[in-house]
């Protein structure tokens, strides 16, 4: 990609609208054995950033009002602190509550907590430039660079709709484009006084193996079980779902279907699963969830989803219209994203990876986000929320263990 601004695609535009004030971001963390130096991490970050244009951009508007990524040469910042008794969840909370301002490049930053026995690395992204799978890819490249090995060649930067061959209008405008003025002031979406909380639980390898055996016996998957447990937990723990329809945005991964290589950017990985407050037996619920997610694995449905999002933007391509759609619909969904087995080796040469967690992701107030990921045989569940549902993970684990 040249240094010229690159216009945003439909999903990039939508996520930019979610995070205009910089508060829709997410953090991924990895703990490695030994103490890394700040100098080594800065050098490794520079090598990774050099290969991926979206790791050096901000969001802005071209002179004719198009929504664009603006290329910068500013390096990825690194905050280094000495090890303390603070847990990774509290550090992730701090990252969630530090906005990545859309107009300030780059839309990614790093942090490290180094002690005598290990170093924990954190990468935080604005969701307009990357999704969770991209974050795992960047973390793996960072660990590769730290080990002294050569990085793979840079993946070509492209909008999602271009990668899957879907034709949509090439740009989105702000509402004041015709007058040549700056983008409109952001509509209120996040409240700075509301803080993000991060909670996590670990399901050990032997317990996860037992859950897999149970899932197989019921001709289903761990993914469907977790999604069903999240839906049931929400409708039982949060009274508003007795009055409003709950939709869980649950996980699929269609990168192989569309031959999307690893890259920094957004992929298509979502299915919509409705839940209601009723007395459905758990395994009937799991079966229903499994069938519902399967519908979204079809290429035709996937293309429809992306096309529908693009059409909603195109019907009124102004930025403030997109913001209003986010405000109206976002709080009434919850998100469950399952990364499956994290494709991170246990070692990179002499660099040993001790632990990785599922990401923490800050979204709109009232929206609960649960991420799941398996590393070294165990499963981590991470719940991130702003004014969301308390005790969500504990109830999910209770449901999974008792069924």
What CATH number does the domain containing 389 carry?
Answer: 3.30.559.30
Same domain, 245 and 333: yes
Same domain, 170 and 204: no
Domain count, the chain: 2
| The length of the chain, given as a count of residues | 403
**3-state helix vs strand vs coil in the chain, percent to 5:** 35, 25, 40
Q: What are phi and psi of 124, to 5 degrees?
A: -120, 130
* pLDDT score, position 94: 92
Q: Is the pLDDT assigned to residue 2 strictly greater than 60? A: no
pTM: 0.90
Same domain, 232 and 163: no
* pLDDT score, position 21: 64
Last residue of a domain, one of 149, 179, 209: 179
Residue 80 banded pLDDT, cuts 50, 70, 90: very high
- Residue 138's closest CA among 343, 337, 375, 336? 343
Residue 230 host element (H or E): helix 222-237
Same domain, 162 and 203: no
The region of weakest confidence among 49-53, 219-223, 230-234, 325-329 is 325-329
With respect to residue 313, please indicate whether it lies within any of the assigned structural domains: yes
With respect to residue 16, please indicate whether it lies within any of the assigned structural domains: yes
* pLDDT score, position 177: 40
Same domain, 160 and 279: no
What average pLDDT does range 329-358 have in this prediction? 87
- Better pLDDT: 257 or 52: 52
What CATH number does the domain containing 94 carry?
Answer: 3.30.559.10
CB neighbours (10 Å) of residue 109? Answer: 20
Same domain, 145 and 215: no
| C-beta separation of 103 from 77 below 8 A | no
With respect to residue 144, please indicate whether it lies within any of the assigned structural domains: yes
The DSSP bridge pattern shows strands 6-7 and 108-114 to be unpaired
With respect to residue 189, please indicate whether it lies within any of the assigned structural domains: no
The DSSP bridge pattern shows strands 67-71 and 57-61 to be antiparallel
Tokens matching residue 160: 């999602």
Tokens matching residue 170: 């090439």
With respect to residue 1, please indicate whether it lies within any of the assigned structural domains: no
- Better pLDDT: 49 or 255: 49
- Better pLDDT: 249 or 347: 347
Q: Is the pLDDT assigned to residue 395 strictly greater than 90? A: yes
State in Å, rounded, how far the first CA of the chain is from the last one. 51
With respect to residue 165, please indicate whether it lies within any of the assigned structural domains: yes
With respect to residue 244, please indicate whether it lies within any of the assigned structural domains: yes
Integer Cα distance of 357 and 229 in angstroms: 20
Same domain, 212 and 83: no
Q: Is the pLDDT assigned to residue 192 strictly greater than 70? A: no
Q: Which residue range is the domain that position 112 belongs to?
A: 6-179
Same domain, 101 and 203: no
Integer Cα distance of 136 and 119 in angstroms: 17
Same domain, 29 and 168: yes
CA angle 350, 353, 357 (to 5 degrees): 165
Same domain, 140 and 239: no
Say how many CA atoms lie within 13 Å of 198 toward its Cβ.
Answer: 24
With respect to residue 191, please indicate whether it lies within any of the assigned structural domains: no
Last residue of a domain, one of 110, 145, 179: 179
The chain-wide mean pLDDT, for the chain, equals 84
Say how many CA atoms lie within 13 Å of 358 toward its Cβ.
Answer: 26
Same domain, 116 and 254: no
Last residue of a domain, one of 179, 211, 241: 179
Residue 258 banded pLDDT, cuts 50, 70, 90: confident
| C-beta separation of 227 from 250 below 8 A | yes
Same domain, 116 and 155: yes
Tokens matching residue 348: 């990179």
293: Cβ contacts below 8 Å, ≥ 6 apart = 223, 224, 227, 250, 251, 252, 271, 273
Integer Cα distance of 240 and 231 in angstroms: 13
pLDDT digits (tens, 9 = 90+) for 203-253: 999 999 999 999 999 999 999 999 999 999 998 888 888 777 788 887 777
Residue 384 banded pLDDT, cuts 50, 70, 90: very high
| C-beta separation of 143 from 32 below 8 A | yes
């Amino acid at each position: 990609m040249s240094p010229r601004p690159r216009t945003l695609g439909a999903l990039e535009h939508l996520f930019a609208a979610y995070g205009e004030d910089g508060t829709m971001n997410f953090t991924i963390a990895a703990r490695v054995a030994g103490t890394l130096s700040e100098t080594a991490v800065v050098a490794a970050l520079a090598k990774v950033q050099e290969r991926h244009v979206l790791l050096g951009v901000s969001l802005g508007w071209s002179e004719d009002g198009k929504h664009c990524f603006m290329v910068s040469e500013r390096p990825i910042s690194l905050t280094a602190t000495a090890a303390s008794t603070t847990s990774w969840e509290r550090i992730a909370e701090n990252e969630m509550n530090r906005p990545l301002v859309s107009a300030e490049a780059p839309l990614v930053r790093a942090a490290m907590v180094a002690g005598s026995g290990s170093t924990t690395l954190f990468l935080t992204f604005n969701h307009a430039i990357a999704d969770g799978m991209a974050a795992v890819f960047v973390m793996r490249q960072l660990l590769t660079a730290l080990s002294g090995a050569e990085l793979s060649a840079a993946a070509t930067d492209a909008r999602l709709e271009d990668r899957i061959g879907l034709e949509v209008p090439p740009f989105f405008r702000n509402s004041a484009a015709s007058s040549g003025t700056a983008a409109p002031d952001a509509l209120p979406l996040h409240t700075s006084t509301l803080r993000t909380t991060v909670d996590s639980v670990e399901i050990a390898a032997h317990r996860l193996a037992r859950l897999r055996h149970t899932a197989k016996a019921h001709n289903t998957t761990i993914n469907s079980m977790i999604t069903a447990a999240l839906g049931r937990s929400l409708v039982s723990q949060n009274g508003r779902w007795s009055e409003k329809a709950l939709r869980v945005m649950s996980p699929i991964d269609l990168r192989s279907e569309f031959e999307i290589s690893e890259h920094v950017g957004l992929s298509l990985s979502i299915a919509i699963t409705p839940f209601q407050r009723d007395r459905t037996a758990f395994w009937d619920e799991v079966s229903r969830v499994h069938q519902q997610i399967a519908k979204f694995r079809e290429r035709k449905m996937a293309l429809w989803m992306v096309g529908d999002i693009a059409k909603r933007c195109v019907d009124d391509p102004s930025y403030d219209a997109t913001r209003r759609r986010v405000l109206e619909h976002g709080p009434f969904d919850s998100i469950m994203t399952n990364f499956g087995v994290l494709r991170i080796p246990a070692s990179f040469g002499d660099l040993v990876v001790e632990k990785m967690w599922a990401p923490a992701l800050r979204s709109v107030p009232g929206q609960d986000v649960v991420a799941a990921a398996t590393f070294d045989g165990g499963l981590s569940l991470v719940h991130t929320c702003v004014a969301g549902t308390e005790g969500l993970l504990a109830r999910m684990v209770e449901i999974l263990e008792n069924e």
